[in-house]
Amino acid sequence: MNTRLIAARVLTRVIQDGQSLTAALDANLPAVELSKDKAFVQALCYGVCRHYYRLDFILNELITKPIKDLEIKALALVGIYQLSYMRVKPYAAVSETVLATRKKPWAKGLINALLRNFQRDQASLEQKANTVTWVATSHPLWLVQKIEHDWPEHAQHILLENNQQPPMSLRVNLSRISTEQYLQQLAALTINATAVEGCPSAIILEKPVAVELLPGFMDGLVSVQDVAAQLAANLLDVQTGQRVLDVCAAPGGKAAHILEHQPQLKELVAVDIDSTRLLRVTDTLQRLKLSATLIAGDALAPQDWWDGVVFERILLDAPCSALGVIRRHPDIKLLRRADDIESLQALQQNILNAIWPLLAPGGIMVYATCSILKQENEQQIATFLATHADAKEVAIEEATWGIEASHGRQIITGTAAMDGFYYARLVKAA
């Protein structure tokens, strides 16, 4: 099948049906036989999602009336993306994209004319796109406004970083091998990488590689995980013999890191509402030869799954807008809506209230999100502290990363190559 057509079908599922890019690719990539073709389809889909608002603006400048067939519209976006951002030869980009219309012959002339006109007028179209902030940065207007409101001094940096491809970061299993030793193993395979200051387990690769090429990956020496996500285990300060709860645990990277960080736990309980996603936690733990108690349960209703024994440590990686990981999941810009934030804020507060009673007196809870919005982060913690007399914040003074917020610490997307992330540390009165 024509790879451009497959990409258009994937994008239609995202744009029209609100399906995640990951799910849409999983459903359509099996039709692609060659690995290089799969990689090309992925590059097209990620690229169009990443630059969707700019591409869509340019497309609208090229047409006199809307394209009602969304698959053909997606195909037009695929064509413009190739000509704007990829190293595909222009004649190949046009001809192959036009060929993708063969089952809809009426669209052949339309796509051909659109792409030819774009080639002719590209400079003026690009210049016009650069005059509108949300178009130039390829973000929905509501999101640009929220970022500028919360982080006026960092807004341009965040918007730029959201459109970059993130680095491939690794978490070394320090219970099995040192970071320096693993760097030596990478160097022996001519895989260039550097350690990360302030995060002992973290390594950033100069270029992404397939996981099967990483030494010891299947033996559990290393995992793929963003540096910001690796900070949770240290913040929890887990001690020997403690009982730990990881709430909203899937896909299990932080749970695994906690177990690597402190192998002598009494028990780690990982809870997630999605039983299918919980299978990924099982897979992660099996590869790393780690064990935990896995529970498919609703964090809002711990009475349905909690055994009544309190936990000395709790990690609450709360459901959030995920606006800090847009560079990894650019479809977030298409799928997230402005009115999602208030409902997510309410959900986060309700989970905090529901889980807090499970923490032992003197115990520590770490609240985390992969969001950059204050509404989900420092304002959320301010509200919680104001309504829970037995809760006290423990400042993250030891950190060399992020920005000190009114409560907790915020990592701005792209700073020190990290995703946008937020952490706050709370202790319950003894």
CATH class of the domain comprising 228-428: alpha beta
**Secondary structure (3-state) at 317:** strand
**In this predicted model, what pLDDT tens digit does every residue of 292-324 receive, in sequence order?**
999 999 999 999 999 999 999 999 999 999 999
How many angstroms separate the CA atoms of 62 and 75, rounded?
14
How many angstroms separate the CA atoms of 330 and 224, rounded?
19
CATH fold of 169-224: Alpha-Beta Plaits (3.30.70)
- Single-letter residue type at 155: A
Burial of 133 (0-12, 13-18, 19+ CB in 10 A): middle
- Name every residue whose Cβ is closer than 8 Å to that of residue 364 and which is 6 or more positions away in sequence: 236, 237, 312, 313, 314, 394, 425, 426, 427
With contact defined as beta carbons under 8 Å apart, do 320 and 376 qualify?
yes
**In this predicted model, what pLDDT tens digit does every residue of 278-291 receive, in sequence order?**
999 999 999 999 99
pTM: 0.95
Q: What are phi and psi of 110, to 5 degrees?
A: -60, -50
**Encoding tokens for residue 124?**
């003026």
**Encoding tokens for residue 69?**
């067939």
The per-residue pLDDT for 43 is 97
**Nearest to residue 176, comparing CAs of 208, 240, 223?**
223
Radius of gyration of the chain (CA): 23
With contact defined as beta carbons under 8 Å apart, do 381 and 369 qualify?
no
**In this predicted model, what pLDDT tens digit does every residue of 338-376 receive, in sequence order?**
999 999 999 999 999 999 999 999 999 999 999 999 999
Residue with tokens 């022996």: 188
Instruction: Tell me what the pLDDT averaged over the chain comes to.
Output: 97
Q: What is the mean pLDDT of residues 101-110?
A: 96
> Given pLDDT bands bounded at 50, 70 and 90, which one contains residue 333?
very high
136-141 contacts at long range (C-beta below 8 A, 24 or more positions apart) = 136/54, 137/162, 137/163, 138/50, 138/51, 138/52, 138/53, 138/54, 138/55, 138/163, 138/333, 139/53, 139/333, 140/53, 140/333, 140/338
Rounded to 10 deg, the angle between the 108-129 and 52-62 helix axes is 110
**Secondary structure (3-state) at 243:** strand
**Nearest to residue 47, comparing CAs of 98, 85, 93, 6?**
85
Q: What is the mean pLDDT of residues 104-111?
A: 97
CATH fold of 3-132: N-utilizing Substance Protein B Homolog; Chain A (1.10.940)
With contact defined as beta carbons under 8 Å apart, do 162 and 327 qualify?
yes
- Give residue limits of the domains in the chain: 3-132, 169-224, 228-428
205-209 contacts at long range (C-beta below 8 A, 24 or more positions apart) = 205/167, 205/168, 205/169, 205/170, 207/168, 208/167, 208/168, 209/168
The per-residue pLDDT for 325 is 98
**In this predicted model, what pLDDT tens digit does every residue of 384-426 receive, in sequence order?**
999 999 999 999 999 999 999 999 999 999 999 999 999 999 9
Q: Which residues are catalytic?
A: 370
The per-residue pLDDT for 1 is 77
Question: What count of other Cβ atoms lies within 10 Å of the Cβ of residue 388?
Answer: 15
Q: What are phi and psi of 252, to 5 degrees?
A: 105, 5
If you ran DSSP here, which 8-state letter would residue 419 be given? P
